[in-house]
Amino acid sequence: QVVFEPKSGRFQQGDFGNEVTLVQDDDEFYSSVVTVGSLGVVVRILFEPLPYYYVFTKVVKSTVPKLLAGELDELRAEYENVNTIINPFNSEVSVSVRKRFPGSFDNSQSVLENARRVLGLSNLTLVDEVDLDAMKTSALAAFGFRNVGELIDEAIQLVAEKVVPRSDAERFTAFFQNSLEQASDGIFLPPIFTFSPGLNTYVPHGSLGTEVNVPADDLEEFLNQTVTSIHRGLQENPQPLILSLRFVGKSQHKLAASFDRQSVAMEILGLGSTATVARWAQEMKDAFPRSRMHWGLQQYGLVDAEYVQARYAEGFEQLQLMIEKYDPEGLMKTPYVQQMFSA
């Protein structure tokens, strides 16, 4: 492990234990790329190198009742990473699962052969043997799009419509779900490709995105209420939407939504009106008092200074002290952060 600080850093070698190297260098610190949104100031960076590994990914098709009947527990026990995508129009589910296999950069073929034996999959292929462009073209054609430009044009037209035809909403939702499946089914890849632009999928991001975390023991009720609420909203106002359910490990960071507890996070991605998502967020906030909404999102008017301070208490006080210390002139304070500290 290596900790990077600016040259004027406040720590001494050994403060983090004998196994951590402290580097205090302006060039090293500022050349490290870290995304923190608009809610903080980077004062220290910790790098923890991991042994090289490859990732096997596949998609399991399911339904919400089947998941809750035990399949989800089985998948989580077998795989290290489980990401669940739900189509709210028909409750069909695509579960993307991942398993790691140790190896090195120059022995990919032997690692692949070992993975084939362990998984019992003779047709497992390395990502560099997959024609990603052909895969994307095929996905577009399957839903009536000749190219990416046509997809974008139709999506823009769809968002501009006050009333979206249900058939169009279902078509785009199915396309988004299929795109995610195509990019993660039966592929074996080194970690450098895990976040590669070459594996980008056609998934909506932007104005509708919001996230709610609840304790893991609320999973079944939370999932059922979410699907019911969103499905009801889509009956009144059809629009392309997918639900993304993720499992979040316990965090010791006092500003984390999963601080001191295992959590499940529901993220909603889509195109169109915010009304359905806003109503869902309000219903979840009321129905699950132990929930924590993503406090960096304000577009639904459900997260204010009082809410954030009540949910994060001691962690919020520590954030206040840190910002006062490292940013006394408020250079990093956006209007939203100013608002959070107003109460």
For 84-134, write each residue's pLDDT tens digit: 999 999 889 999 888 888 877 777 788 888 888 888 877 777 765 556 677
**CB-based contacts of 26: which residues, under 8 Å, 6+ apart?**
6, 7
**CB-based contacts of 51: which residues, under 8 Å, 6+ apart?**
102
pLDDT of 315 strictly over 80: no
Averaged pLDDT for residues 158-163: 75
Instruction: Tell me the Ramachandran region of residue 272: left when phi exceeds 0, alpha when psi lies from -120 to 50, beta otherwise.
Output: left
Could you count the other beta carbons within 10 Å of the beta carbon of residue 25?
13
Alpha-helix runs per DSSP H in the chain: 26-30, 64-66, 72-78, 108-119, 132-142, 148-160, 166-182, 219-236, 275-287, 305-326, 335-340
- Give 172-208 pLDDT, tens digit per residue: 888 888 877 776 676 766 655 444 434 445 555 544 5
Averaged pLDDT for residues 167-171: 90
pLDDT of 64 strictly over 50: yes
CA dihedral 215, 221, 226, 228 (to 10 degrees): 180
Instruction: Tell me the Ramachandran region of residue 246: left when phi exceeds 0, alpha when psi lies from -120 to 50, beta otherwise.
Output: beta
Residue % of the chain over a pLDDT of 90? 10
- pLDDT, residue 150, reads 83
Pair 91, 224: CB distance under 8 Å:
no
Task: Give the pLDDT band of residue 74 (cuts 50, 70, 90).
Answer: very high
pTM (two decimals):
0.74
Strand 53-63 relative to strand 45-47: parallel, antiparallel, unpaired?
Answer: unpaired
Pair 194, 56: CB distance under 8 Å:
no
Residue % of the chain over a pLDDT of 70? 81
- pLDDT, residue 128, reads 58
- Give 10-58 pLDDT, tens digit per residue: 788 888 778 788 888 888 777 765 555 555 566 667 777 777 888 888 8
| Rg (alpha carbons) of the chain, rounded to whole number | 22
